[in-house]
Amino acid sequence: MLSYTLKRLLQAIPTMLFVITISFFLMRIAPGGPFDGERALPPEIEANLMAAYHLDEPLPMQYVRYMGNLLQGDFGPSFKYKDFSVTQLIMQGFPVSLEIGGLAILLALLLGLPLGVIAALKRNSIIDYLVMGTALAGVAIPNFVIAPILALVFGVLLAWLPAGGWNGGALPNLVLPVIALSIQQLAYIARMMRASMIEVLSSHYIRTARAKGLAESQVIWRHALRPALLPVTSYLGPAVAGIVTGSVVIEQIFGIPGIGRYFVQGALNRDYTLVMGTVVFYGALIVLMNLLVDLLYSALDPQIRHDD
């Protein structure tokens, strides 16, 4: 297992190098620069800005400079958020994104899994239709629609919870963003769990277990649940990465100081170093999540081993 993990980590190096290089040059090719604004700057001022950020150097030299700094763990200064380095911004934003993302995925699992199992067990019943109908709506309605509705209803009209703001991560401030962020994942997980459970329940060994006279609860808990969890597990890696990195809209709507906002704002402002920093960070996160899921998968399914 250790050698497999090391091998996978080594394989990640060329992947990351490719991602960094492509992102670096794509950012520079994109029209518009970090100092293009409503009022064009006088040439002398623009020259000062370009020199301050080494943008007046030839592109290959900028690339070499960037890679050199990166190897020393330095993402460089942000062009827009000048009082902070990109590393500082990521380190401040990531725990926040991780907190709401982690809670959202936890909520999605805690509710999605049992709902999926119930729907599978009560297949084609009113409960099944109700759960799957709601899940379909959850998948179909994007969170940029759900989030403002939640803020309006629970924040403004009922005034039960704050309509936005972080407040140091106080519980009332967490509730709405976590719900908004988890709804789509919850719906996916419930649908996936139902399908997977139905498939497992119709397999031969479950029929054999039932034929042996095992109680239905034992059949489900001991024999069906674990294999049924496999597809959900493999979905978990991209889901966790997606929920942590993809909470941009939620962070924007609820005013949450997470990392997602830096990525979008960095891209819009052509803040090259900030975009590169978040891309490298996200890339590493996705590679890591996929590796963790593979390891978890092998723990759940004894047929899969990575000892080679």
Partner 1 sequence: MFTHLFTRTALLVGLLVGAAHGAPAAVLQVGNGSEPGSLDPQKTNGVWESRITLALFERLVTYAADGSLTPGLAESWTISDDGTTYTFDLRQAEWSDGTPITADDAVFALRRLLKPAIANHNANLYYPIENARAVNTGEAKPSELGVSAPDDHTLVIQLDNPTAYFLQALAMTEAAPLPQHLIEKAGDEWAKPGTMVSSGAFTLQEWRPQAHVKIKQNPHFYNADAVSLDGVTFYPTGDASAALNRFRAGDLDISYTKVPTARSDWVKNNLGDSLRVGAKVGEYFYMFNLRDGQPLADERVREALNLAVRRKVITKQILGMGQHASHWYVPRGTENGTQGSLDFAEQPMKQRLTRAKRLMREAGYGPDNPLHVTLRYNTLESHKKIAVAVAAMWKPLGVEVELLNAEATVHFAAINEGDFEIARYGMIATINDPYDFLNAYAEDGSAQRSTGYHNDDYDALLKRSTQELDTERRTELMTQAEQMLLDDYALLPLYDYVSAHLVTPEVKGWQTTVLDVHPLRYIHLED
Site residues (vs partner 1, CB under 8 A) = 31-33, 36-42, 44-45, 47-49, 51-52, 78, 80-84, 89, 92-93, 148, 151-152, 155-156, 159, 162-166, 168, 251-258, 261-262, 265, 268-270
In the complex with partner 1, which residue's Cβ is closer, 24 or 263? 263
For the chain, the residue count is: 308
Q: Provide, rounded to whole angstroms, the least separation between the CB of residue 14 and partner 1.
A: 32
Q: Which is nearer to partner 1, 92 or 290 (CB)?
A: 92
Minimum distance from CB of 35 to partner 1 (Å)?
8
**Which lies closer to partner 1 via its Cβ, residue 249 or residue 287?**
249
**Backbone dihedral angles phi then psi of residue 257, each to the nearest 5 degrees:** -80, 55
- Of the pair 36, 216, the CB lying nearest partner 1 is at 36
Residue whose CB is less far from partner 1, 173 or 184: 173
Between 126-140 and 171-201, two packed helices, what is the crossing angle to 10 degrees?
A: 120
> Considering the complex, what minimum distance in angstroms separates the CB of residue 157 from partner 1?
9
Q: How far is the CB of 43 from partner 1 (least distance, A)?
A: 8
Least distance to partner 1 from the beta carbon of 143, Å? 13
